[in-house]
Amino acid sequence: MIRLTASVALLVLSALSAFAADIRDGRTLAPVAPVREPSFFELRLGASYHEIDGPESGSVAIVGEVLTPKFFRAADPLADFFIPRLHVGASINAGGDTSFGYAGFTWSYDFTPRFFGEVTFGGAIHNGETGPIVPVGRNALGCSPLFRESVGLGYRITEQLSVMAVVEHLSNAGLCDANRGLTNAGLRLGYRF
């Protein structure tokens, strides 16, 4: 966990220092259009460290998702934040642990034309353990479907290409007998078209 957190922090600090060096040296970055246009889809691919601290910890999941455009926009950036995009995706565990498909809402906010943040909320279905007897090394997820939420910080490399650090959590919110939950953290590369 500490190694993963340090790696994500190093990535963010490297991007910030490069950005600061460009400003200090008087160089300008290639312009990046704000994400205010109403019609773009986004494809994201990446990997996550599966289950940060729990029985299934230690494997990697391959992640892919698609985000829709916003169906309408607000002129004020803060008000525009509250209008979500839709997303659908999948996380396939490479080690045979819990894999899941998910869908929900994504709220994005541009801190600058290049740096942005996101939060999501939705649901997920999974192939994890839900029965009363859970094998050693597996999470007791209680039931399927589960709630899924995530938070992410991103950097736009170009108008179309971005990179993000994401932490996601799946849980049944105590609606089933067992509720171990599942927390993953990773990186994603996004391409909007």
Chain centre to alpha carbon of residue 47: 10
Does residue 6 lie in a domain region? no
Q: Say which CATH number the domain at 139 has.
A: 2.40.160.20
Domain around 160: 42-192
Residue 152 lies in a domain: yes
d(CA 113, CA 31): 8
Whether residue 35 is contained in a domain is answered as no
Of 62, 142, 147, the residue nearest 97 (C-alpha): 62
Residues 47-75 have a mean pLDDT of: 93
Residue 96 has pLDDT above 90, yes or no: yes
Q: Determine the Cα–Cα distance for residues 190 and 120; give it in Å rounded to an integer.
A: 16
pLDDT at 74: 86
Work out the burial of residue 160: count CB atoms within 10 Å of its CB; fewer than 13 is exposed, 13-18 middle, 19 or more buried: middle
pTM above 0.85, yes or no: no
Residue 34 lies in a domain: no
* Region 70-81 average pLDDT: 86
Q: How confident is the model at residue 185 (pLDDT cuts 50, 70, 90)?
A: very high
Q: Is residue 7 part of a domain?
A: no
Q: Confirm whether 165 is domain-assigned.
A: yes
Compute how many other C-beta atoms are within 10 angstroms of the C-beta atom of residue 188: 21
Rounded to 5 degrees, what are φ and ψ at 134? -110, 125
- pLDDT at position 19 over 50: no
Q: Is residue 119 part of a domain?
A: yes
User: Average pLDDT, whole number, for the chain?
Assistant: 85
Is the confidence at residue 180, as pLDDT, over 60? yes
